[in-house]
Structure 1
Amino acid sequence: MSEVIVENVHKSFGTVEVLKGVSLKVKKGEVFALIGRSGSGKSTLLRCMNGLEKVNSGHIEIAGHAMSRDPAQLRKLRTDVGIVFQSYNLFPHLSVGENIMLAPRIVRNVAKSEARNTAKEVLKLVGLSEKFDAYPDELSGGQQQRVAIARSLAMQPKVMLFDEVTSALDPELTEEVLSVMEQLARDGMTMILVTHEMGFAKRVATRTIFMHQGTIWEEGASREMFANPRTPEMRQFVKSDVK
Structure 2
Amino acid sequence: MSEVVIDQVHKSFGAVEVLKGVSLSVAPGEVTALIGRSGSGKSTLLRCINGLEQFQSGAIRVAGHDVTPDRAALRKLRTDVGIVFQSYNLFPHLNVAENIMLAPRRVKGVDKATARKKAEEVLALVGLSEKIEAYPDQLSGGQQQRVAIARSLAMQPKVMLFDEVTSALDPELTGEVLAVMEKLARDGMTMLLVTHEMGFARRVANTTVFMHQGRIHEAGPSRDLFENPKTPEMRQFLKADVK
| TM-score relative to the length of structure 1 | 1.00
The whole-number CA distance in structure 1 between the counterparts of 2:69 and 2:196 is 31
1:66 is matched with: 66
The whole-number CA distance in structure 1 between the counterparts of 2:69 and 2:84 is 21
SS of the residue aligned with 2:179?
helix
The whole-number CA distance in structure 1 between the counterparts of 2:49 and 2:195 is 16
The whole-number CA distance in structure 2 between the counterparts of 1:200 and 1:239 is 17
SS of the residue aligned with 2:3?
strand
Aligned: 1:217 with 2:224: no
2:234 is matched with: 234
SS of the residue aligned with 1:2?
coil
What is the identity, as a one-letter code, of the residue corresponding to 1:6?
A: I
The whole-number CA distance in structure 2 between the counterparts of 1:145 and 1:69 is 29
2:189 is matched with: 189
1:34 is matched with: 34
What is the identity, as a one-letter code, of the residue corresponding to 1:104?
A: P
Q: How many pairs are equivalent?
A: 243
SS of the residue aligned with 1:240?
helix
The whole-number CA distance in structure 2 between the counterparts of 1:134 and 1:46 is 31
Where do 4+ consecutive residues of structure 1 move more than 6 Å? none
Report the CA distance between 1:189 and its aligned residue: 0.1
The whole-number CA distance in structure 2 between the counterparts of 1:74 and 1:100 is 20
1:19 is matched with: 19
The whole-number CA distance in structure 1 between the counterparts of 2:28 and 2:146 is 23
Task: Please give the per-residue CA displacement for 1:17-41, whole angstroms capped at 9, x wherever unaligned.
Answer: 0000000000000000000000000
Output the aligned Cα RMSD: 0.4
What is the identity, as a one-letter code, of the residue corresponding to 2:183?
A: Q
1:161 is matched with: 161
The whole-number CA distance in structure 1 between the counterparts of 2:14 and 2:68 is 21
Task: Please give the per-residue CA displacement for 1:85-137, whole angstroms capped at 9, x wherever unaligned.
Answer: 00000000000000000000000000000000000000000000000000000
| TM-score relative to the length of structure 2 | 1.00
The whole-number CA distance in structure 2 between the counterparts of 1:212 and 1:68 is 26
Report the CA distance between 1:69 and its aligned residue: 1.1
How does 1:1-243 map onto structure 2 within 5 Å? Answer: 1-243=1-243
What is the identity, as a one-letter code, of the residue corresponding to 2:175?
A: E
Unaligned runs of 5+ in 1: none
